[in-house]
Structure 1
Amino acid sequence: MKGQKLTAENLRSTYLKVPLLSITEAIQQVPNSWTHLSFCPISLPPYITLPSGWTTNDLAAIKVYTSPCRLYDALNEALRTEKINEIQPWFSYLKLFDTAINKIPPVKRRYCRGIRVAPDSSYKIGTVITWWGVSSVSTNRSVCKNFASLHSGGCCGSLYDIKSISARNITNYSLYPGEAESILLPGTKVKIIKIELDSMSRVYVIDVEAISPDSTDGTVTVKSTTTTTSTPPLDFTAVLPLSTATSNKR
């Protein structure tokens, strides 16, 4: 991979080339500078029955991503640099996470996403935006509004209304099932349809539509952060007691 230029288009094909490791081995590839990883739960309760075709590593990869150890912060920070030297240590985890996510069927519908960051000047109607990070979206608008709301002064949050055919619902595998969370994998591209500012809530409402991967006209990159399957919910509370009803990721 030396000298290779990483793009949103080749990101997935690049990390899928690495060997498929266990969740423990994948986490060990991540730089030691991120100390919170030692608190990530990577084991499953012994009584869990795996969905057909799943491994314990598949489930653990999603569980770790949704956990309060904030692995998602470090992962998305690395992805948004767009630099291969920053992202490469995450390739093994990304492959494991991708493998698990793709065992969940995509659902075509409208989703929402809330972040406490205003859109920058690149957000113009008709522009195609690349989301380099893993994007958490939801079918519960109240959850999205909470993530977008500013609880102190300043301007402004963003509430995305997303039309997608590729989001995959992880509700039954998440530590926070109440968030009705679905996942868009890194490198997702969306087209800006409409932007409006709700002055009362100080939140921009941004209507976007996922586009086909080969559509690149007007593409810009966004670094700032921020329906169901038949499988029964999995109880992870024995592994990691939860202190709050919702997570902080987006």
Structure 2
Amino acid sequence: MHDDDLGDCTTKRLLDLKNEPIQLLSPIEGYGNHPLVSLEEAVKPIEHLVPELERWVYFAKHNSSQQLSSDSLTHDEQAAIHLYTMEWNECSYTVLNRTLRPKDRRQLKPWFLYLKLILTVLFKLPSVFDVLYRGIKLDLSQEYVEGQICTWYAFSSCTESLKVLESEQSLGKTGTRTLFNIQCENGEIIQKYSHYETEAEILLLPPTQFQVKSKLNPAPGLHIIHLKEVK
């Protein structure tokens, strides 16, 4: 597998912010009743939704260790995260996150086996209590009101390093931008199972709620929003 087939996965996931719903959505119910199965079995119900999925599952399994990891993850569990971090046209994380955001939760049913697998994995991983960053090349400041509670319903990729966001492929240094400064309590560290092990990606699980603590407009076009995770 070549990196140029995949693109800059982490950068694209860090920017996946603009379609979070404003209205309150119902919880995801039902996936927990499903059995824990292999990655190949978990993706069968969604093969018609994600192009070339079988091919990328093969790559994810091939690039994941068959030995039990230091976090007690099996081969399939490691590969489930690896698959999530891979990028191709209409890739798994893009379609999954797009399905997590609509009001009609019935659309998630084909994803239940994969959700059971990847959420089981993520609950095993060490959590981080830290300040994280995420951004987008849009002005979202009007959608976040100080003191209010907001919810991100998709898997949310964040970073501990502002440098990751400095490239023009990411947030960049000029133009209209919104930078989220996030006080996180339950971020899951997926770095060593990611396709890009050198990029310190931290994943927030769906749904994650925040209180909007403050907003700042320190430079033309740059909006900084301070969020604090709440339970």
**Between structures 1 and 2, the one with greater helix share:** 2
Quick one: structure 1 residues 82 and 31, their matched pair in 2 at CA, closer, same or farther if it must change by over 3 Å? farther
> What's the counterpart of residue 166 of structure 1?
186
Seen in structure 2, the aligned counterparts of structure 1 residues 194 and 170 have a Cα distance that, compared at 3 Å, is same
Judged with a 3 Å threshold, the aligned counterparts in structure 2 of structure 1 residues 48 and 18 are, in CA distance, closer, same or farther, namely closer
Shift of 1:193: 1.0
CA contact (8 A) 2:64 2:78 kept: no
State yes or no: 1:67 paired with 2:73.
Answer: no
Which consecutive residues of structure 2, in runs of 5 or more, have no partner in the other structure? 1-23
Q: Cα gap change, 1:51/1:60 in structure 2, threshold over 3 Å: closer, same or farther?
A: same
Q: d(CA) in 1 for partners of 2:65 and 2:118?
A: 22
| Paired residue type of 1:207 | H
**Could you report, residue by residue, the CA deviation over 1:128-179 in whole angstroms, capped at 9, with x for unpaired residues?**
111000000111111134422388xxx6332111111100111111111232
Q: Does 1:186 align with 2:206?
A: yes
Asked whether the equivalents of residues 161 and 208 of structure 1 are also in contact (C-alpha less than 8 Å), the reply is yes
Q: Structure 1 residue 149 and structure 2 residue 169: aligned? A: no
CA distance in 2, matches of 1:32, 1:162: 36
Q: Given the two structures, how large is their TM-score scaled by the length of structure 2?
A: 0.78
Superposed displacement of residue 45, structure 1: 4.4
SS of the residue corresponding to residue 160 of structure 1 reads strand
Structure 2 equivalent of residue 50 of structure 1? 68
- Counterpart CA distance in 1 for 2:201 and 2:163 is 12
* Partners of 2:47 and 2:141 in 1: CA distance: 30
SS in 1 for 2:128: coil
Percent identity, please: 27
1:135 and 2:142 are equivalent in the alignment: no
Q: 1:14 to 1:47 in 2, by over 3 A?
A: closer
- Work out the CA distance in 2 between the residues paired with 1:67 and 1:46: 13
Q: Mark the CA change 1:119 to 1:85 in structure 2 (over 3 Å): closer, same or farther.
A: same
Q: Is the 8 A contact 2:151 2:209 kept in 1?
A: yes
Aligned residues: 201
Residue 198 of structure 1 and its aligned partner are, at CA, apart by 4.2
Aligned residue in 2 for 1:10: 27
- Cα distance 1:127–1:47, how it changes in 2: closer, same or farther (>3 A)? closer
| 2:64–2:82 Cα contact (<8 Å) kept | no
| CA root-mean-square deviation | 2.3
* Partner of residue 18, structure 2: none
Moved over 4 A (4+): 45-48
TM-score normalised per structure 1: 0.72
Amino acid at match of 2:61: S
Residues in 2 aligned to 1:64 and 1:110: alpha-carbon distance in whole angstroms: 26
Query: Where does the alignment leave 5 or more consecutive residues of structure 1 unmatched?
Result: 1-6, 213-250
Instruction: State how far apart, in whole Å, the 2-side matches of 1:118 and 1:37 are.
Output: 34
